[in-house]
Amino acid sequence: MQLAKYIHALCPQQAMDEYTAEAWHDVLGEFGLAECHAAVVSIAKRQPFIAPSEVITEVERERRAQLGRVRRAQLDQGYVPALNSADRVVLLAPPTAPGLEP
Protein backbone atom coordinates (compact mmCIF):
# COMPACT_ATOMS: atom_id res chain seq x y z
CA MET A 1 0.00 0.00 0.00
CA GLN A 2 2.76 2.46 0.94
CA LEU A 3 4.65 1.98 -2.32
CA ALA A 4 1.55 2.41 -4.49
CA LYS A 5 0.65 5.64 -2.69
CA TYR A 6 4.21 6.89 -3.11
CA ILE A 7 4.20 6.08 -6.82
CA HIS A 8 0.89 7.86 -7.22
CA ALA A 9 2.35 10.91 -5.47
CA LEU A 10 5.33 10.89 -7.84
CA CYS A 11 3.26 10.09 -10.94
CA PRO A 12 -0.22 11.53 -10.43
CA GLN A 13 -1.03 10.96 -14.10
CA GLN A 14 -0.49 7.19 -13.71
CA ALA A 15 -3.73 5.22 -13.51
CA MET A 16 -4.29 3.59 -10.12
CA ASP A 17 -7.35 2.09 -8.48
CA GLU A 18 -8.27 0.18 -5.34
CA TYR A 19 -6.59 -3.00 -6.69
CA THR A 20 -3.27 -1.44 -7.70
CA ALA A 21 -1.49 -1.85 -4.36
CA GLU A 22 -2.43 -5.53 -4.12
CA ALA A 23 -1.42 -6.22 -7.72
CA TRP A 24 1.93 -4.48 -7.27
CA HIS A 25 2.49 -6.44 -4.05
CA ASP A 26 1.84 -9.70 -5.90
CA VAL A 27 4.64 -8.78 -8.32
CA LEU A 28 7.08 -7.02 -5.97
CA GLY A 29 6.41 -8.83 -2.69
CA GLU A 30 9.70 -10.73 -2.72
CA PHE A 31 11.67 -7.47 -2.66
CA GLY A 32 12.14 -5.21 0.34
CA LEU A 33 10.19 -1.97 0.63
CA ALA A 34 13.38 0.08 0.96
CA GLU A 35 14.82 -1.48 -2.21
CA CYS A 36 11.62 -0.84 -4.14
CA HIS A 37 11.38 2.71 -2.82
CA ALA A 38 14.92 3.48 -3.97
CA ALA A 39 14.19 1.94 -7.37
CA VAL A 40 11.02 4.02 -7.75
CA VAL A 41 12.93 7.21 -6.97
CA SER A 42 15.55 6.34 -9.56
CA ILE A 43 12.95 5.54 -12.23
CA ALA A 44 10.82 8.61 -11.49
CA LYS A 45 13.84 10.84 -12.10
CA ARG A 46 13.99 9.75 -15.74
CA GLN A 47 10.40 9.04 -16.82
CA PRO A 48 6.79 9.99 -16.02
CA PHE A 49 5.34 6.46 -15.52
CA ILE A 50 6.56 3.46 -13.52
CA ALA A 51 5.87 -0.21 -14.21
CA PRO A 52 6.47 -3.05 -11.73
CA SER A 53 8.88 -4.71 -14.19
CA GLU A 54 10.99 -1.55 -14.19
CA VAL A 55 11.16 -1.63 -10.40
CA ILE A 56 12.35 -5.25 -10.54
CA THR A 57 14.99 -4.38 -13.14
CA GLU A 58 16.23 -1.45 -11.06
CA VAL A 59 16.34 -3.47 -7.81
CA GLU A 60 18.30 -6.26 -9.51
CA ARG A 61 20.68 -3.73 -11.11
CA GLU A 62 21.38 -2.16 -7.71
CA ARG A 63 21.89 -5.59 -6.09
CA ARG A 64 24.47 -6.47 -8.78
CA ALA A 65 26.20 -3.13 -8.24
CA GLN A 66 26.33 -3.70 -4.46
CA LEU A 67 27.72 -7.19 -4.96
CA GLY A 68 30.41 -5.79 -7.26
CA ARG A 69 31.37 -3.19 -4.65
CA VAL A 70 31.61 -5.86 -1.95
CA ARG A 71 33.76 -8.09 -4.15
CA ARG A 72 36.09 -5.21 -5.04
CA ALA A 73 36.44 -4.34 -1.34
CA GLN A 74 37.22 -7.96 -0.52
CA LEU A 75 39.84 -8.14 -3.27
CA ASP A 76 41.36 -4.93 -1.92
CA GLN A 77 41.63 -6.66 1.48
CA GLY A 78 43.55 -9.57 0.00
CA TYR A 79 40.79 -12.10 -0.65
CA VAL A 80 41.75 -14.44 -3.49
CA PRO A 81 39.37 -15.44 -6.32
CA ALA A 82 39.09 -19.21 -6.84
CA LEU A 83 36.73 -21.69 -8.52
CA ASN A 84 34.46 -23.81 -6.34
CA SER A 85 33.16 -27.28 -7.18
CA ALA A 86 30.39 -25.74 -9.32
CA ASP A 87 32.96 -23.76 -11.34
CA ARG A 88 31.76 -20.51 -9.84
CA VAL A 89 34.14 -17.84 -8.69
CA VAL A 90 34.31 -17.52 -4.92
CA LEU A 91 36.54 -15.37 -2.76
CA LEU A 92 38.84 -17.14 -0.33
CA ALA A 93 39.98 -15.37 2.83
CA PRO A 94 43.53 -14.10 2.77
CA PRO A 95 46.07 -16.48 4.34
CA THR A 96 46.34 -14.14 7.30
CA ALA A 97 43.38 -11.92 7.94
CA PRO A 98 44.29 -8.21 8.32
CA GLY A 99 44.83 -7.30 11.96
CA LEU A 100 45.41 -10.91 13.06
CA GLU A 101 49.10 -11.17 12.26
CA PRO A 102 51.21 -12.82 14.96
Q: pLDDT tens digits for 16-72?
A: 999 999 999 999 999 999 999 999 999 999 999 999 999 999 999 988 888 777 777
| CA pair distance 78, 95, nearest whole angstrom | 9
| CA pair distance 63, 18, nearest whole angstrom | 31
- Looking from the CA of 47 toward its CB, the CA atoms found within 13 Å total 9
Query: 21-41 burial, b for 16+ CB within 10 Å, e for fewer?
Result: beebeeebeebeeebbeebbe
- At 87 the three-state DSSP class reads coil
pLDDT at residue 72, rounded to an integer = 72
